[in-house]
Structure 1
């Protein structure tokens, strides 16, 4: 008889460069004083380079394991939704820490559930189209270009 749990896929491992960076940052006598690896906008070009492929693998894993309903699916255009990128990175790094302890893994699942709620709020009705591969930059009537610079009157974005 085959083991029914043998089909369970492991969580994607972070890129070696990122794991080395984390180890250097956490060393007792560390000389590395860089940003945390989940702060995507603060990472150097070298550190950000492997992140899209890894975070995409994380999204695919999350969708495969947890997305049983359409509204639970992280859309393939997640990289074009900046807030999702930040949240997915934090969620991915938090998972490694959480799985060091069974109780913490329960908390991680609660965090994942809250992430799905925030994702759906952020995507709104456009989320259905994104999940079908039809991404729009922003809903038309909420263009950030409408915000002008107070001093010049030009678009602030």
Structure 2
């Protein structure tokens, strides 16, 4: 018998705790009204705890299957790039839904391609260093420091700059 496809590895399963949470959230008579599991910043400490290991296995799986060019490699420091972490989580959960129907899986692959474009835009030149294990901190950090934070964590532009812009 031909074993050409026998070596294909399945997509990593989400952690059991997350699967239970999803089932509770989507039950018809659900009393759970929590955030979506891909909204990493909104998850409780208990729910976020298993996510890094799972998302890392997702990145390894994606790299192993799809990264044929250097710019397609999700860097090992993906978790240090907050925007990437959010996108990888959303992409991972979307894949589960997409494989319910063949047409949806084609759309997921288009989403994956758009993810790669956004990832490379986000990483910019530092992506090459990150991909070989030399993570660079966010190069635009100095620009973000100009935005002061309020007591509630919201950003607020310095008053002097507002007056200057107003003319």
TM-score by length of structure 1 reads 0.92
Q: Indicate the residue corresponding to 2:152 in structure 1.
A: none
Instruction: Kindly state the Cα deviation for residue 152 of structure 1 after the two structures are TM-superposed.
Output: 8.3
In the alignment, what sits opposite 2:104? 104
Once the two structures are superposed, residues 100-153 of structure 1 have per-residue CA deviations (whole angstroms, 9 ceiling, x without a partner) of 000000000000000000000000000000001101111267452243454689
* 1:5 CA drift (Å): 0.6
Gaps of 5+ in 2: 149-155, 161-167
Q: Distance in 1 between matches of 2:38 and 2:111?
A: 15
SS of corresponding position for 2:145: helix
1:53 and 2:50 correspond: no
Residue correspondences, number:
153
Rg larger for: 2
1:8 aligns with 8
Instruction: Give the unaligned 5+ runs of structure 1.
Output: none
Structure 2: distance between partners of 1:150 and 1:74: 33
Task: Provide the aligned C-alpha RMSD in A.
Answer: 1.7
> Is the contact made by 2:38 and 2:86 (CA closer than 8 Å) also made in structure 1?
yes
- Rounded Cα–Cα distance in structure 1 between residues aligned with 2:140 and 2:95: 36
Q: Is the 8 A contact 2:91 2:112 kept in 1?
A: yes
Q: Provide the rounded CA distance (Å) in 2 between the counterparts of 1:132 and 1:40.
A: 26
Q: Normalising by the residue count of structure 2, what TM-score does the alignment of the two structures yield?
A: 0.87
Distance 1:67 1:122 in 2: 17
